[in-house]
Structure 1
Amino acid sequence: MFIRNERSIKEFIRYYPVVSTIIIIHILTWLLDIIPIGLFNQLYHLGVGSHWGLQNGEYWRFITPIFLHGGLTHMLFNSFSLVLFGPALEEMLGKAKFLFAYIGAGVLANIATFIIHPSILYSHVGASGAIFGLFGVYVFMVAFRKNLIDSQSSQIVMVIFIIGIIMTFLRPNINIYAHILGFVVGFLIAPLVLNGARPYYPPQYRKSYDDDGEIRFDPNRWKKKRFSRKTKQNFLWTIIIILVVIGVLYNVF
């Protein structure tokens, strides 16, 4: 579920246009912050989740911080998380529901942050609240919709979610409210967005057929894969280790 099987970036973009668009926006808005031209820098700061600006009626700041990041490592870490966990949900929920879950969790987490932490000097950026919203949907599946997620993917979701929660409280200068409340929002809206969802199967492994509503399998699916099941399990745990290492480095630097 979380192993990327796409053969190229072009193929990834074709299969998962919403995730791809969000990542492109991440990169472009990060460039706004580093380009040494006043106009670009001003545009970046117009999007920061500044509580001073929100108290003065700049309500777009509930949305724009979701797409902004505080540096290259921050942007890469969140974008990598989205590449890993976004595609399956985009395919399962559909473009509109996925975007609703992602933006909705991020915006409501930012609104909650503003209410709980109303300091006029507080400001924040980052997609973490929205990404934790996706975790909320996954954890709901693990708990109540086991037919939508296999046991191996369930274990990976829970391990990485626990790591993310631990890092939330260990790392300084992090928006704890957005992480926790983003997850809560994702979990609460999961029954709505998962209505009508079906288990995820990588698009490139699907056999073309007239859709009659039944879930079908490509009989050659496993023949197309080069690696053994054991190798893939090791690869998944390698991903977890890499995430932990990146998270630790991000916490240190």
Structure 2
Amino acid sequence: MILVTGATGTIGRHVVRLLTERGLPHRAMSRRALPGGVRADFTDPDSLARALAGVDAVFLLSAPPEPTADHEIALTTAARSAGVRKIVKLSAIGSGALFEGATVGWWHLAAEEAIEASGLAWTMLRPPSFASNFLWYRPLIEAGEPIPNLTGDARQAVVDPRDVAAAAVTALTDPAHDGQRYDLTGPAPLSFPEQAATLAAVLGRPVRVTEVDRLDQLPAGMATGVGWARSGGADYVTEHLPRILGRPAGSFERWVRDHRREFAAAA
């Protein structure tokens, strides 16, 4: 039995889909009721115990309103008590790197360290930005307004969320990935303007960007990560995804083409 936290989110919903397609027993966890799922909250130990009953492996991600490792540490503690064997954690690229005296993704790093210290088997997945982040900007694209560019001309190898989910399912079901930390990049680094240009070419309509020079109004944790990426920290490609999946990582252009209708719906 595999427990999927964040089961309705960007990655979790694809993990649930893949597990369903492969006929693998799983339980989707959410704070709201899901058909065939389990309702639980990271801040409610009793609900976590119910969600983890009979579970062998956990796909772990949380999206708290403010950066904190508390939720994932709470689930790790409950998982250990429930006899869970393994946790596959969705982390983020660069977590633990230092930038201007601050730690990038400190909450991810703290959760990773707690999982490693738990005695459970683990795999850490550290993707950069998701290709699907552009869906946030559909209203601006529809209105012909420019979309904000926080990272300037810096590049990062944005990744298809479907590939991240496929890697997670592989790690959950194959012990060969125990104890591994993977940077799950796409096949080529792209700047934000280059991504916007690709989107414009596929949609056949202008997609303009506007530069955001000041990061001091962003939440502190986000500002550190964006600043690190803006400095070129995420400008690299790994072979981790191809090695895990046995095929090349999907390109940003392929993701856009596969989701063209979602942007057209906003037009």
Name the TM tier (shorter chain): 0.3 to 0.5
Q: Which structure carries more relative contact order (alpha carbon 8 Å, separation 6+)?
A: 1
- TM-score (norm: length of structure 1): 0.32
- TM-score (norm: length of structure 2): 0.31
Q: When you count helix as a share of all residues, which structure comes out higher?
A: 1
